[in-house]
Amino acid sequence: MLILIAGPYRSGTGDDPEKMAANLRRLEEASWPLFKAGHVPMIGEWVALPVWQSAGGKTLGDELYDQIFYPTAERLLAICEAVLRLPGESKGADNDVRIAKARGLPVYHRLEDVPGVGS
């Protein structure tokens, strides 16, 4: 399955780049177990960040940021087959879960619950 890994990225960081990088690393930690289990992991920021930067994005939370980040996740959810929602407060990740459920996609809250990972 193509699985969107959703969790805090910007939330709770005060837009501190080091804290955001640490949040991205936490999201990425789930990518290897998913890949090893035969899935393709996806993180919205992997797509949104280069799009935002190439569009001229400079300040986190600017108008361009809002035009790219949430819509990127929504577009990815049109092709993803599941969501892995990692712990932590995140309006964006909560929105990803809402969209996934509306589309009938499975939402996993623990890595070991994803098929093939816990075995």
- What's the longest Cα–Cα distance across the chain? 44
Q: How far apart are CA 110 and CA 112, in angstroms?
A: 5
**pLDDT for residue 66:** 87
Residue 103 tokens, joined: 């589309």
Interval 71-109: pLDDT, tens: 999 999 999 999 999 999 999 999 999 999 999 999 999
Architecture of the CATH domain 2-102 = 3-Layer(aba) Sandwich (3.40)
Site of tokens 């935002």: 52
Output DSSP code: residue 110. Answer: S
Residue 85, CB-side half-sphere exposure with 13 Å CA sphere = 20
**pLDDT for residue 16:** 92
61 compared with 109, residue with greater pLDDT = 109
Other C-beta atoms closer than 10 Å to the C-beta of 17 total 9
Between helix 63-77 and helix 44-54 the angle, nearest 10°, is 140
Label residue 118 by pLDDT band (50, 70, 90).
confident
Output DSSP code: residue 86. Answer: -
Domain edges within the chain: 2-102
Q: pTM for this structure?
A: 0.94
Label residue 21 by pLDDT band (50, 70, 90).
very high
Where residue 58 falls (left for φ over 0; alpha for ψ -120 to 50; beta otherwise) is alpha
Residue 17 tokens, joined: 């780049």
